[in-house]
Amino acid sequence: MAEPVVTVQGQRQAGEGLIFWLSGFVLLVGLPLLNVLPDPDSWLHVSDFALNRFGKFLCFAILALGLDLIWGYTGILSLGHGVFFGFGAYAIGMHLMLTIGTESVYGSALPDFMVWNQVKELPLFWKPFYSFGVALAGAVLVPTLFAFIFGFLAFRSRIKGVYFAIITQALALCAWLVFNRNETNLGGTNGLTDFKQILGFRLSEPGTQRALYILTVLFLGAAYAVCRWIIRSRAGRVLVAIRDSEQRVLFSGYSPANYKLFVFVVSAALAGLAGALYVPQVGIITPAQIGVLPSLEMVIWVAVGGRGTLVGAALGAVGVNWARSVLTNYFPELWPFFLGGLFIAVVLLFPDGLVGLFTRVREKWLASGLWVRKSPASSEHNG
Amino acid sequence: MKVALGIMLLGTASLLGAGQAIAAEGPRASTAAPPLSLIDRALADLSSGDQARQDAAANVLIEQGDSSLLPKLEEIRNNADRSVRLAIKPLMDLLKNRSNLASPDADRRRSAAADLGSSGRPVVMPWLEAALAGEPNRWVRYTLEESLALIRLASDDPDTKIKAAAKLGELRSSNAVPALKELLQQTGTDATDQQKALANAARAAIGQIDIWASWANAFETIFRGISLSSILLIMSLGLAIVFGLMGVINMAHGELMMIGAYATFVTQECFRAYFPAGLFDYYFIAAMPIAFCVVALCGLILEATVIRFLYGRPLETMLATWGVSLVLIQAARVYFGDLTSVVAPSWLSGGAQVMVGVYLPYNRIFIIVLSILCVAGIYFLLFRTGVGLRVRAVMQNRDMSSCLGIPTRKVDAYTFAFGSGLAGLAGCALTLIGNVEPGLGQNYIVDSFMVVVTGGVGKLMGTIVASLGIGGLNKFLEPSFGAVYGKVLILVLVILFLQRRPSGLFTIKGRHADA
C-alpha cells in the first residue's frame, strides 16, 4: 500500500523543493534588495509600503500552513483559528503597548485606553509582558495551551466534522465578544495600537520593518520545514489516514484523538506565531481581526491555494490577501461578492485549489502529447 | 351621588356636566352651575401681571374649569410672556388629564390617572375618586387608587398618611417606593409616636413592595427566557429540518431569515403604497405566507445550484453556503441600505398587564404562539401525512427509499425548500422585535447551530428541548454574568455537556456506524 504513495510524493517532493528554495531566495534576498538598492523611481523598486504589506501576507501564510496541517491533511475543519492568531497578536501587542511608556497621548505609563477607562493601576496579568521574552513565549504558549485544553475536551468526546467546526466557530464568537469588552482590559473595540518601538528599534523606521520582514520570511521557512517534516513522518501518514477513514485508523490500533490533538496544538502554535509577527508590522490588532468572519477567511486561503499541499496553503494566503488589498482599494463594495464567490467557486469548481488546477492543466497538457515526458501517477489524493 | 357621577362620566362623557357636578361637591361653589363670569374673569386674570391674582385665577380654573377651556388657554398661552406660559402649562395639563380620565381608551385613562397622581395636588382627588367609582377596567382602577394614595401620602394629616402608606403597600406600588423611603428618612430619633407609627407603616409597605417586586422580577425573567427560547426555537426549526434531518449544514440559513425579514418589509411598503390605509394593519398577516413562499423559492434555487452537488460533504457545504451568505448580505446592503425597520401592526404593539409590575408585550406572546404553532405544524406534516412519511424514509435510508420508488431528488429539494421557508417565517417574526438589517441572520446563526448540535441531529424533540434550555439558561445567567460572559459560559457548558453526550440530547438509537 505504501509503495505508490511514496513515488507520487517523491515526484512532488522534487517540484516542491525547487519551489521552496526558489521562492525562499526571492522572498529573503530578492525583495529586500529591490527595496534597498534601486532608485525609488525605477520600476524595479519595491516600496517600503509594498514590502511591509508583503510581510503581512507572509504572516498569514504561516498561519495557513498550520491550518492546512489540520484541515488539508487531517480533515478537521477549525473555524476558530482567528482566536489563536489573536492570542499571539495580543501577547506581543501588550508588550509593545507597555514599551510605549510615557510617549503615549496622555503621557501616562499606562496604555492610553486604560487612561480613558479610568484604570488606575496596571492589571496583574499585564505585568509579565514588560519582558519581551515572556511576551514572545506567551504568544506561542498561550494559544498552545488553550488549544490543548480545548482540543483535549473536544477530541476526547469525539466531537468531529461539522460539530467541531461549529464548536470552534462558537469559540471564535465568544473570543470576539470577550476581547471587545472594556473590562477585560484588552483595549475593547479599538484593540491595541499606536506602538512606537520594539526592543529599542523604532517601528516607524524602514530598517526595522525590513528586519521584521526578513524575520517573517525566516520563520515562514522554518514553519514550512517543520510542517513538511511532520507530514513526511509516520505521524503524518496517520494524520492523512485519519482524514480518509478515522474508523479504520481506530480499528488499526491507533488513537486518532491523540494525533488530532497534536496537530491541533501545532497549528494553534503556528497561528500564535503568525499573530506575533503580524502585530509589529501592521501596528494594530483589534477584535475585528479575530472573530468569526476572519477565521473563516483563513480557511478560504487554504482552500483557494489548494489544501493538502503546503505550498498551496501559503500561496493561497498570499494570493487571496493580495487580491483583497487590491479589490478593497478600487472596489470596496465588490469585495464581499468576490470573497463569497470564491467560497462557492473553490468548493464547486476547483476543490483542489490553485495547485490542483495547475496539476490538472499540466496533466491535460501531458496527455495531449505535446510535452514528451513520462506521465506522473494521476490523482494524488482524494481530498 | 358618586355612582350617578360615574355613569355620567362614562356613559355620556358630558364633560361639562361632570365638571359642574364635581364643582358642586367642592367646598366653595354654592350653585350647581358656576357663573360663567367667574371663569371669564379668571381667564382674564391669568395674563395680569399680578402673581397673587394669577394663582387665584389658576385655582378657580382648576376647580371649576374643564377641557372646553383648553383652546382658550392655548390662545392665552401663545400670546403671553414666559412666566404666564409657565403658570398655564400645569393648569392645562391638569385639565387635559381630567378630561382624559373619561376617555374611552383605557390606556389613556390610565396614563391620565398616573399623571394626576404625580402632580401631587390634593385638588385632583375628587376627580380621581369620581373616576374610580365608575371605572370598569381593573388596571385603570389600580392606577387611580395608587394615585389617590400617593396624594394622600403627601397630605398633612398623619392618620391619612399612615392609611395611605398601608394602602400603597397593599397595592405593591413600586412608584411609591421613593416617597415612602423619604418618609422613613425624615423620621428622626426624636420622633413622636405618631411619626413612629407612620415610619413603621412606611417600612412595612416598602417590605411588601420589595417582596412583590422580586416575585415580579422572577416572573419576568422566566417570561423573557421563554420568549428568547421561542425565538431560538423558531429559528432552529428550519435548521432542524435542513441540518437535523437532511444533514445539510447551511450557513446561509441566517441570510434566508434576513430575506424573510426583507420580504416582510417589502410587503409592508406595498401595503402602504397600493392598499387603503385601513388595511395597513393586516399587512403582517399577508407577510407571513409571502415570506415563507419567497424564502422557500430561494431555498429551491440554492438547492438546485449549490447544495445538490455537495450532499454528503458537510464541510464543503459549510464553506460554499458561507460564501452564499456573504453574497446575500452584501446584496441586501447594496440594495436596501444599512438599516430599515418594520412598523409592528397596531394589534401587536403594546402589551398585557397580567399582574402588578408585570407587563407582557404582545409581540413576544405572538412569537411564542407562532413557534408553538410551527412545531405542531411540522409534527403534523412529518408524522401524520404521506409527504412526511416519504421525507422521513429518504432521510433514514436513501437507497432503500429510491428502490421503493420514492423520487429522492425531489424529496430532497422540497424538504430543503420547506426548511428554508421556515427560516423565512422566522425572519418575518424577527421583524417584530428588532430592526431589519443585512446582518440580521448573523446575530443568531451561531446560537441556532449550537441549539441543533446540543439537541442532536435527526430529532426534532432535541431541537425543541435544546432551544428551551439554551434560551432559558441564557436569560437566567444574563442578570448575574452579563450578556457576554453568559454566552461564554453557555459555550463552556455545551462543550462539557457534549463530553457526556457527544451526539446531543436525543439521538437515533441503534448501531449507526459514524462514518
Confidence of residue A268 (pLDDT cuts 50, 70, 90): very high
Residue A247 CA, distance from chain mean position: 30
- Band of residue A68 on the pLDDT scale cut at 50, 70, 90: very high
User: How many cross-chain Cβ pairs, A to B, lie less than 8 Å apart?
Assistant: 115
Q: How many other β-carbons are positioned within 10 Å of the β-carbon of residue A62?
A: 30
Buried-exposed string B348-380: b where 16+ CB fall within 10 A, e elsewhere: beeeeeeebbbebbbbbbbbbebbeebbeebee
Kindly determine whether residue A77 and residue B514, on different chains, have CB atoms separated by under 8 Å: no
Averaged over B43-72, what is the pLDDT?
71
For position B510, what pLDDT does the model report?
52
- For residue B265, the number of C-alpha atoms closer than 13 Å in the C-beta half-sphere is 21
Higher-confidence position of B512 and A122: A122
Task: List the domain boundaries for chain B.
Answer: 1-100, 215-514
How do residues B383-440 score in pLDDT, each as one tens digit? 999 999 998 888 888 888 899 999 989 999 999 999 999 999 989 988 888 888 888 8
- Three cell numbers, residue B182: 423619604
- A185 Rama sector, left if φ>0, alpha if ψ -120 to 50, beta otherwise: left
| Res. B509 pLDDT band, cuts 50 70 90 | low
Q: What's the Cα-to-Cα distance from B430 to each of B234, B272, B304, B448, rounded to whole Å?
A: 10, 20, 27, 14
Q: Is B40 within 8 Å of chain A by CB?
A: no
- How remote is the C-alpha of B65 from its chain's centroid? 38
B85 vs A277, residue with greater confidence: A277
Q: Tell me whether residues B319 and A181 touch, CB distance under 8 A.
A: no
Sequence-separated contacts (24+) of B78-82 with Cβ below 8 Å:
B79/B47, B80/B46, B80/B47
DSSP assigned state of B309:
G
- The whole-chain average pLDDT of chain B stands at 79
Higher pLDDT, A186 or B88: A186
- Per-residue pLDDT of A307-326, as tens digits, reads 888 989 999 999 999 999 99
**Chain B contacts of A77, Cβ < 8 Å?**
315, 318
Query: Position B97: which residue type?
Result: N
CA distance B404 to chain A (A): 31
Interchain pair A347, B502: CB under 8 A: no
**Terminal C-alpha separation, chain A:** 18
Q: What secondary structure, in 3-state letters, does chain A show?
A: CHHHHHHHHHHHHHHHHHHHHHHHHHHHHHHHHHHHCCCCCCCCCCCHHHHHHHHHHHHHHHHHHHHHHHHHHCCCCCCCHHHHHHHHHHHHHHHHHHHHHHHCCCCCCCCHHHHHCCCCCCCHHHHHHHCHHHHHHHHHHHHHHHHHHHHHHHHHCCCCHHHHHHHHHHHHHHHHHHHHCCCCCCCHHHCEECCCEECCEECCCHHHHHHHHHHHHHHHHHHHHHHHHHHHCHHHHHHHHHHHCHHHHHHCCCCHHHHHHHHHHHHHHHHHHHHHHHHHHHCEECHHHCCHHHHHHHHHHHHHHCCCCHHHHHHHHHHHHHHHHHHHHHCCCCHHHHHHHHHHHHHHCCCCHHHHHHHHHHHHHHHCCCCCCCCCCCCCCCC
Q: How confident is the model at residue B315 (pLDDT cuts 50, 70, 90)?
A: confident
pTM of the predicted protein model:
0.76
- What residues of A are in contact with residue B513 (Cβ under 8 Å)? 247
The residue type found at A127 is K
**The three grid cell numbers given for residue B408, joined into one nine-digit string:** 429522492
Distance from CA of A247 to the nearest CA of B (A): 7
| CB of B284 less than 8 A from some CB of A | no
Contact A173 B306 (CB under 8 A): no
Mutate to test the interface with A, among B301, B303, B336, B484 (most CBs of A within 10 A): B484
Mutate to test the interface with B, among A247, A327, A342, A343 (most CBs of B within 10 A): A343
Q: Work out the pLDDT band at B452, boundaries 50, 70, 90.
A: confident
B494 reaches A (C-beta below 8 A)? yes
d(CA A261, CA A269): 12
Query: Chain A: nearest CA to B409, how far in angstroms?
Result: 19
B215-514 has which fold?
ABC transporter involved in vitamin B12 uptake, BtuC (1.10.3470)
In this complex, is the C-beta atom of B496 within 8 Å of any C-beta atom belonging to chain A? yes
> Residues for chain B: how many in total?
515
Nearest CA to B142 out of B350, B352, B357 is that of B357
CB A315 within 8 A of CB A57: no
**Which among B327, B336, B477 is the top mutation candidate for probing chain A, defined by the most A β-carbons within 10 Å of its own β-carbon?**
B327
Question: CA B151, CA B171: separation in Å to the nearest integer?
Answer: 14
Residue B184 vs residue B288, higher pLDDT: B288
Residue A245 pLDDT greater than 80, yes or no: yes
pLDDT of B27 above 50? no
Looking at beta carbons, which residues of chain B come within 8 Å of A348? 306, 309-310, 320
Nearest by CB to A170, which of B331, B491, B499? B491
Highest mean pLDDT out of A364-378, B27-41, B324-338: B324-338
- Say if B52 is an interface residue toward chain A (CB within 8 Å): no
Residues B183-199 have a mean pLDDT of 74
Please count the residues of chain A.
383
Quote the pLDDT of residue B181: 79
Cell numbers at residue B85, please? Answer: 406660559
What's chain A's average pLDDT? 86
Q: Which cell numbers in the block locate residue A342?
A: 470564491
* Span B61-80, average pLDDT: 72
How many C-beta atoms lie closer than 10 Å to residue B128's C-beta? Answer: 23
Q: Who among B325, B449, B484 is closest to A178 (CB)?
A: B484
Residues facing residue B355 across a β-bridge: B358
What pLDDT is stored for residue B31 in this prediction? 45
Q: Does B488 sit within 8 Å of A178, measured CB to CB?
A: yes
- Chain B contacts of A351, Cβ < 8 Å? 316
Strand partners, B352: B360
Q: What is the pLDDT of residue B515?
A: 38
- Please give the grid coordinates belonging to residue B94: 391638569
Confidence check: pLDDT of A7 > 80: no
- Residue A5 — pLDDT band, cuts 50, 70, 90? very low
The C-alpha of A377 sits at a distance from chain B's nearest C-alpha, in angstroms, of 26
Per-residue model confidence as pLDDT tens digits over B342-387: 787 878 777 777 777 777 888 888 889 999 999 999 999 989 999 9
**Average of per-residue pLDDT across B92-100:** 78
- CA separation for the pair B437, B435 (Å, rounded): 6
Helix (H) or strand (E) holding A192: strand A192-193
Q: Which residue of A has its CA nearest to B499?
A: A157
Closest by CA position to A114, among listed B222, B228, A105: A105
Q: Give the Cα separation of B101 and B117 in Å (integer).
A: 12
Instruction: Tell me the pLDDT band of B280, cut-offs 50, 70 and 90.
Output: confident
